[in-house]
Amino acid sequence: MAFLIFLSDFLNTRMFETMLQTFAVWFILSVLIFSLGWIIDKSFGWVIGGKVVFVAIIISIIFSLSFASFFKNYIALSSPLLEDLILFILRNITLGAMGFFGMAIAEVTANEAVIKAQGDIEKNTALLVENAKKEAELLIKEAEQKIEEMKKEKTGALNELVRNEIELKKKLNELISSEKEILKRYDR
């Protein structure tokens, strides 16, 4: 990346004034650095990749400044040296920003996929919770029905026991009264 940024020092600075080819070269160089930023983000992640891109920008600025200072006679500089040095620095920072932009777009697309996956998980979780609530309601209804059935059975059994007790008392009373009659007959 630093090498590509350093290559920008050899391009014409009047890219919008003279030729369309110069703009095309700048555009291609920007796209290449954007792609490298994307690849760096995918390879190293945001934190380490950001450090790599930042170091590449700093290295390219150092090389550009030293190159422009030492070989100022070989470079067609049209303005004072300080202005050209500032121009080289701005070029390098602009192209480096394209690398950061590539990293940012890579992070956004990765985070978008993660957010979409989390949304799907949340939807599935909501469906599972809803299904669990329905199942719990069904279980509660079944339990209430079983309780009612058990109450009916117990009530029926209790009623049957009460009837049996009443019948036994009646029979016992009948037996006692018949025994009393028999005893009265024997007594006479």
| Torsion sign across C-alpha atoms 136, 141, 142, 146 | positive
In the chain, which ranges are continuous DSSP H helix? 2-7, 20-70, 81-187
Q: Give, for all 188 residues of the chain, the pLDDT tens digit.
A: 777 776 666 665 555 455 666 677 778 888 999 999 999 999 998 899 999 999 999 998 898 888 877 776 666 556 677 777 888 888 889 889 999 999 999 999 988 888 888 888 888 888 888 898 999 999 999 999 999 998 888 888 888 888 888 988 988 888 888 888 888 888 77
Q: Which of 56, 58, 64, 98 is nearest to 84 (CA)?
A: 64
